Amino acid sequence: MSNRVRVAVVGTGWWATYAHIPGLLQHQSAKLVALCDRDRAKAEMTAVAFGIDKAYDDVGVMLAHEHLDAVIVATNHASHYRVAKPCLEHGLHVLIEKPMTLNAAEAKELVTLATAHQCEISIGYNANYSSYAQRAREVLKSEILGPVQYVSGIFNQHVIDLLRGKEVMDPSFEDKVHSPGTVYSDPLLSGGGHGHLQITHLAGMLFYLTGLRAYSVSARMSNHGLNVDLVDAMMIEFTSGALAVIGGTGNMPGGRKNDLQIYCQDGWIDIDAVAGAAAIHGEKSTTEHVSESDDPTREDVRFFSTINLIDRILGQAENVASGEVGWRVVEVLDAAYRSAQQGGQPIMVEALYPLE
């Protein structure tokens, strides 16, 4: 590898142009060498806007012609697996936007491929890089609070227009940034709605902090007239015997709520991700407060996973949103959508791997 990490971005939609591409361009040790999108005109327009020399409409062609160290996969959810797989087979590190894949078997295959080719996978769970998440994980790993017994989590946000398929664009975005389009309203492209778009963030933090693994999942989901789910309620039993209830709605007008509480044998952790803070409650009524505002040097949250990809390849950072974490999240989501389709019947995680 040269003195700069050579990266390509596959998928030039709104999040790639708002987060990943600017994040790469501001990193002194990164070199963004190519863009790829199945819509060639979109890829070329993005390349011109950001001053990138190469634009492709085929991942295989790009991999054959470019010398790369890593690829960022920011395509629609349903295509993550088929884009990431050849990249890993070429020995490239991969950052995959959430959710990692739409089914557990594909997620497992990507993790296995990464191990075989000595590559790493990371997932776009930016909250995992926060100071409050890092401290919460440190405390849980120390076992000072004892084993996890119960988890409660909620993720609410007003994303109903995205799930309706309306062309939504934040007026603060620069005009060279693409609109999200109608992708989030199409089950063939996005799988589901609020679960795959937002609950995945909550689950990504849960599995990073706790190291748990789901044993069975029961879920109910309501579409409220949409083509995808708007409201989700999931109950998880973990292999350790701990239990969790997580869920949320994509229809929270004027606000956002992202809370995670982890109750252990000898204490509990209360995370308010919107406030960027956590309270860690130990024995004898002791409480430690951790806030993201305590670290004014932190990068913009939208760049966390992009910057970490480069730093990790250079051996300067830990992977805090690993393929393993992404896989555990996919197990829950895969089982939850299957359960909801069956009226809330419990789905055993082992049943997601019928050929084993």
pLDDT digits (tens, 9 = 90+) for 160-178: 999 998 865 555 445 456 7
pLDDT for 185 beyond 90: yes
- Judged by average pLDDT, the poorest of 95-109, 205-219, 302-316 is 302-316
Does an H or E element contain 190, and which? helix 187-190
Write the CA distances from 204 to 61, 117, 351, integer angstroms.
32, 24, 22
Q: Do domains 5-126 and 130-297+320-352 have the same CATH topology?
A: no
Say yes or no: domain 130-297+320-352 is CATH 3.30.360.10. Answer: yes
Q: What is the pLDDT of residue 197?
A: 96
> What is the CATH code for 5-126?
3.40.50.720
Q: What is the pLDDT of residue 173?
A: 47
- The ranges assigned to domains in the chain are 5-126, 130-297+320-352
Q: What is the pLDDT of residue 168?
A: 59
What predicted TM-score, i.e. pTM, was given to this entire model? 0.95
| CA distance linking residue 346 with residue 216, whole number of Å | 6
pLDDT in tens, 57-67: 999 999 999 99
pLDDT for 195 beyond 90: yes
Q: What is the pLDDT of residue 302?
A: 85
**Which residue type is seen at 73?**
V
Supply 193's token pair.
């709605």
pLDDT in tens, 254-286: 889 999 999 999 999 999 999 999 999 998 778
- Mean pLDDT, the chain, integer: 93
Do the Cβ atoms of 34 and 10 come closer than 8 Å?
no
| CA distance linking residue 277 with residue 256, whole number of Å | 15
Percent of the chain with pLDDT strictly greater than 70: 94
Instruction: Give me the mean pLDDT over the 28-33 stretch.
Output: 96
Q: What is the pLDDT of residue 175?
A: 46
Supply 15's token pair.
């999040």
Q: What is the pLDDT of residue 232?
A: 98
